[in-house]
Amino acid sequence: MKHVIVIGAGIIGTTTALALAGAGCRVTVIDSRSEAGLETSFANGGLLAANSALPWSSPGTPLQLLKWLGREDAPLLLRPRAIPGLGMWGLRFLANCRASKYQRTAAALTAFGQHSLAIMERLLGEQRIEAKIRHGGLLELIRGKDAERHAEDFARMLERMGAKVTRLDGAQTAALEPTLAPIANSIGTGLLLESDAWGDARAFSVAAAAAAQRQGVTFRWNADVLGIDVRAGAVRGVRLHDDYLSADSVVVCAGALSPAVVAPLGVRLPMAPVKGYSLTLAASDLDFMPARPIVDDFEHIGVTPLGDTLRVAGTVEFDGFDKTLRPARVDNLRRALSRLFPRMTLPDNVRPWCGLRPMAADGLPLVSATRVPQLFVNTGHGALGWTLACGSAELVTSMVTGQTDGRGSPFSLTRSFW
């Protein structure tokens, strides 16, 4: 039986371990932390945005970056001091903003998002994993200047990619989602993406780890992988602080830290960390709760009901690997939330969090073999790791087990990042 080591137990590593075990591999997962999903998968937006899985490198992004350069109150903040560190990644990111590339990337991401959601449904249907996923669609609000025209262009693009989109005016949007009644006049169009779903990515990571354990997967917690051992041109194992584990294959699912894990082997991953924030509010502290996730393009936030909490996520910050929770950025999210729900009194008891999105330069994940035989990567999912996790796990598993070499895939490391 092939022994596969998975580095990282976030949403990507845990789902990968489960898929590998299902394919008959012996699997060991190693993570620096004490439990599954304690890094970027911990408190994300919770959206399974399969039908609007779009890259950030869009034609409008370069202008926004310039407009908001260095502004602490901007939803998308590029700190001037972060610019030198972005280097080649930054140039590639900008090159990917051209309209034709944006369209192609969006189509590939959306198709993969829909496929991933279908695999997740299958796992839940087969009761291989115990987790709560909610259905009922995602409501996207298009507000501001030219909202109707912009909404129509956007809806048509999503429909071309296979999404089912229902167009609502402000009053219809508020009728569907009464919590939005106070701002109904400002909503040009509400787009309901009925097939999207939502759930808690951290809870799913824990559930996937438990399901993997039931299938015989071993987890090594509080263990840093210090290096991957390659001899005679092939992977032999991994070095831990006080141990050595031999392996037939290694899959790197180390989130934003993945490039550092494989760099000593000459494998370059064109990725950068992109910081984002969330707030978690207890339902018992609120006098309202939306029935479904609301994504507000105007305030640049997503608001998601997650069991007995409300999760608010957003903001993009290029700040290197710095994970400092900056009060000004937390306040931005609070203010955006108050503007979206003006009649709400924000409780003091709000749990802020930030995490580093592992972002590939072209917005597509890196699910691929590498130049080192039997070394694979499943990383770089950026703002869509939760949405793409189950599809990515299945794809990398098919490579590890030799069913495909993945070379023609849009997620291969051999693709052009320009």
Ligand X SMILES: Cc1cc2nc3c(=O)[nH]c(=O)nc-3n(C[C@H](O)[C@H](O)[C@H](O)COP(=O)(O)OP(=O)(O)OC[C@H]3O[C@@H](n4cnc5c(N)ncnc54)[C@H](O)[C@@H]3O)c2cc1C
Q: Which residues bind ligand X (CB under 6 A)?
A: 7-13, 30-33, 38-41, 44-47, 49, 201, 224-225, 253-255, 257, 261, 276-278, 302, 313, 355, 357-358, 379, 381-387
Phi, psi of 362 (to 5 degrees): -105, 5
Q: Shortest distance, CB of residue 2 to ligand X, whole angstroms?
A: 21
CA distances in angstroms from 418 to 57, 127, 249, listed in the order given: 11, 41, 30
CA distances in angstroms from 226 to 30, 148, 161, 236, 285, listed in the order given: 11, 53, 42, 14, 44
CB nearer to ligand X: give 102 or 386: 386
Q: Shortest distance, CB of residue 358 to ligand X, whole angstroms?
A: 5
CB nearer to ligand X: give 40 or 332: 40
Instruction: For residue 137, give the nearest of 51, 43, 44, 45 by alpha carbon.
Output: 51
CB nearer to ligand X: give 170 or 199: 199
Q: Shortest distance, CB of residue 78 to ligand X, whole angstroms?
A: 16
CB nearer to ligand X: give 5 or 25: 5
Q: Shortest distance, CB of residue 306 to ligand X, whole angstroms?
A: 10
CB nearer to ligand X: give 174 or 279: 279
Measured distance CA(249)–CA(235) in Å, rounded: 6
Q: Shortest distance, CB of residue 154 to ligand X, whole angstroms?
A: 18
CB nearer to ligand X: give 182 or 227: 227
Measured distance CA(290)–CA(288) in Å, rounded: 7
Phi, psi of 198 (to 5 degrees): -155, 160
Q: Shortest distance, CB of residue 256 to ligand X, whole angstroms?
A: 6
Query: DSSP H helical segments within 188-273, as ranges?
Result: 201-214, 258-262
CB nearer to ligand X: give 134 or 357: 357
CB nearer to ligand X: give 147 or 206: 206
SS3 content of the chain, % helix, strand, coil (to 5): 35, 30, 35
The count of other CB atoms within 10 Å of the CB of residue 11 is 31
List, edge to edge, every strand of the sheet that includes 234-240: 225-231, 234-240, 244-246
Measured distance CA(400)–CA(202) in Å, rounded: 25
Q: Shortest distance, CB of residue 229 to ligand X, whole angstroms?
A: 14
Measured distance CA(371)–CA(405) in Å, rounded: 12
